[in-house]
Structure 1
Amino acid sequence: MPAPARPRRGAHRRRVVLLIGWLVAAGVLLTSSAARAETVQVVALAQTVDQVLNNIRNWIMGILAGIAIVLFSIAGLRYLLASGDPGEIEKAKGAFKAGCIGFGLAALAPLVVEILKGIVGGV
């Protein structure tokens, strides 16, 4: 039985050089844009407790919706790659259910903030 063919050494070197080139280009782009950034000091953006709670609500909704989108993507990929495997299909369904729960919690975030406003005394 013949031995498996070894990849050519030149192809591996080209890949390494290409990877190093991409890393150097990314480093140049990232450092050059950061070097021109101006320093700004912000002590506080929110003037009232109501604004703070609204900002918290917006952050919670954004984070939960982002996680839910990632879970939907994972569920879709698992379902596509399952190839009829019942275990993988069940895992995909579980990820889809978790995404639905994430969107449900994101939808309930304004209600939670309203309850916090009632407790804290915000108008």
Structure 2
Amino acid sequence: MSTAAAEWRACLRRTLVVLAGVAVVVLVMPLSAVQAESVTVLAQVQSVDQVLSNIRNWLMGILALLATVFLTIGGVRRVIGGGDPGEHEKAKDCFKAAAIGYGLAALAPLVVSVLKGIVGA
């Protein structure tokens, strides 16, 4: 088996483990909310415009967070990689992914304005 295939399988395994962990958290969290005696509503949405603004804010935050994670991983790989060209290529890929993430985060307001135009808000 080639090293690229082995790396791909290892990456796939890590991704599946993370997804399984997220699934467990998603399944357990509603159970703890059901056991609560009273549920307090912290915020109510007043308009569709507010919902779309909330979506924009969450989208920008999540994309910026992921881009920062990729930027950090790329920096660590670059520093720890030493003279290994393979590690430098992986670091470049992480930097590209971070740039794409920051670009998408910057475009999030545009996407929300398009959604506003579609729903007529």
Superposed displacement of residue 54, structure 1: 0.1
Give the letter aligned to residue 93 of structure 1: K
Secondary structure of the corresponding residue to residue 47 of structure 1: coil
Q: When the two structures are aligned, how many residues end up with a matched partner? A: 86
Q: Deviations over 1:53-93 (max 9, x none)?
A: 00000000000000000000000000001110001000000
Aligned counterparts of 1:50 and 1:71: Cα–Cα separation in 2: 32
Superposed displacement of residue 45, structure 1: 2.1
TM-score with structure 2 setting the length: 0.67
TM-score with structure 1 setting the length: 0.66
In structure 2, list runs of 5 or more residues that go unmatched: 1-37
Aligned counterparts of 1:83 and 1:43: Cα–Cα separation in 2: 50
Q: Which residue of 1 aligns with 2:15?
A: none
Q: Which residue of 2 aligns with 1:105?
A: 104
Q: Greater share of helix residues, 1 or 2?
A: 2
Larger of the two Rg values belongs to structure = 1
Q: Which residue of 1 aligns with 2:72?
A: 73
Q: Which residue of 2 aligns with 1:48?
A: 47
Superposed displacement of residue 43, structure 1: 7.0
Q: Percent identity?
A: 64
Give the letter aligned to residue 109 of structure 2: P
Q: Which residue of 2 aligns with 1:89?
A: 88
The root-mean-square deviation of aligned C-alpha atoms, in Å, is 1.9
In structure 1, list runs of 5 or more residues that go unmatched: 1-38
Q: Are 1:61 and 2:66 matched, yes or no?
A: no
